[in-house]
Amino acid sequence: MNKNTRTTTTARHCYAEAYTKYLCGGNLEEATRQVAHEIYVNRGAAPGTQQGDWEAAEKITREWPHTITESSQSHLFDKATSKTRTWLKEIEAELGLSNPNDAYRALRAVMHAMRDRLPVRESAEFASQLPIMILGMYYSGWTPANKPVKMRSIDEFLDRVADQLPKGMDPMRVTQGVISVIERHVSSGEMRDVRRNFPLKMQELWEHVSPAAF
């Protein structure tokens, strides 16, 4: 993979929510507007202009129409939907849930906590193996500033998970159940890299993950 391809791929991951909406709706101008807004938010107090933000966004989204053909777009969307449904059904089974909405919230809670604890580069490498719809959820609300968030204990991590869970769900059980499902779909090498980016005490989160998942 050459440098330009790596740069484009990373940019697409960082603005995955806009890219997902583009894949679903095909509105490149709206996607560019969303990316420009994210650039504006992320640069904070750094110098810049709205025109500069728009031009930077156009540079990122310009190649998006060439990533898929019109004839394959519907198939890609159906495939992405199927993969996402598979993940949610496995989480329902793992946690004994009765509906996909709770499974989605469980997945989002754990993945957002993981995402915020990982360094930016490792977060992007992990994200590259996610289904496109889960990728959009993964990056929703994320900014690269001040990452990784310093979480030094399991309790700190679980508190972040609990903030996004429905009332009454056990964050430890949810975390270990969701990790079990992720382990089935993301390569073992990448998951080892993810785990190594957690402090040793926090790696206990993997202690009760099903061995079959590794």
> What domain range is 144 assigned to?
69-214
In this predicted structure, what is the pLDDT of residue 212?
46
Q: Does residue 89 carry a pLDDT above 90? A: yes
Q: Does residue 8 carry a pLDDT above 60? A: no
Query: Residue 161's domain is classified under what CATH number?
Result: 1.10.490.110
Q: How far is CA 112 from CA 109, 132, 165, in A?
A: 5, 16, 12
Instruction: Write down which residue in 24, 40, 67 finishes a domain.
Output: 67
Q: Are residues 12 and 38 in the same domain?
A: yes
What is the rounded distance in angstroms from the CA atom of residue 176 to the CA atom of residue 97? 14
Q: What is the pTM of this model?
A: 0.68
Q: Where are the alpha helices (DSSP H) in 96-170?
A: 100-117, 120-127, 132-139, 154-162
With beta carbons less than 8 A apart as the criterion, state whether 182 and 191 touch.
Answer: yes
Q: Does residue 186 carry a pLDDT above 90? A: yes
With beta carbons less than 8 A apart as the criterion, state whether 186 and 129 touch.
Answer: yes
Name the domain count of the chain: 2
**End-to-end Cα separation, the chain, in angstroms:** 28
Closest to 203 measured CA to CA, from 153, 148, 149, 147: 153
Instruction: Write down which residue in 22, 37, 67 finishes a domain.
Output: 67
Residue type at 70 in one-letter notation: E
Q: Are residues 141 and 193 in the same domain?
A: yes
Q: Are residues 39 and 130 in the same domain?
A: no
Q: Reduced to 3 states, what is the DSSP secondary structure of residue 147?
A: coil
Q: Are residues 133 and 197 in the same domain?
A: yes
Q: Are residues 79 and 177 in the same domain?
A: yes
Q: Are residues 36 and 101 in the same domain?
A: no
- Our CA angle for 134, 136, 140, nearest 5°, is 120
Closest to 134 measured CA to CA, from 91, 178, 80: 80
What is the rounded distance in angstroms from the CA atom of residue 30 to the CA atom of residue 141? 17
Residue type at 212 in one-letter notation: A
Q: Model confidence over 150-173: pLDDT tens digits? A: 898 999 999 999 999 988 899 999
Instruction: Write down which residue in 28, 50, 67 finishes a domain.
Output: 67
Q: Are residues 102 and 185 in the same domain?
A: yes
In this predicted structure, what is the pLDDT of residue 118?
94
Q: Are residues 133 and 173 in the same domain?
A: yes
Q: Are residues 31 and 79 in the same domain?
A: no
In the 8-state DSSP scheme, what is residue 211? G
Q: Model confidence over 91-144: pLDDT tens digits? A: 999 999 988 999 999 999 999 999 999 998 898 889 888 888 888 889 888 888
Q: Are residues 73 and 117 in the same domain?
A: yes
With beta carbons less than 8 A apart as the criterion, state whether 104 and 169 touch.
Answer: no
Q: Are residues 186 and 137 in the same domain?
A: yes
Q: Are residues 195 and 109 in the same domain?
A: yes
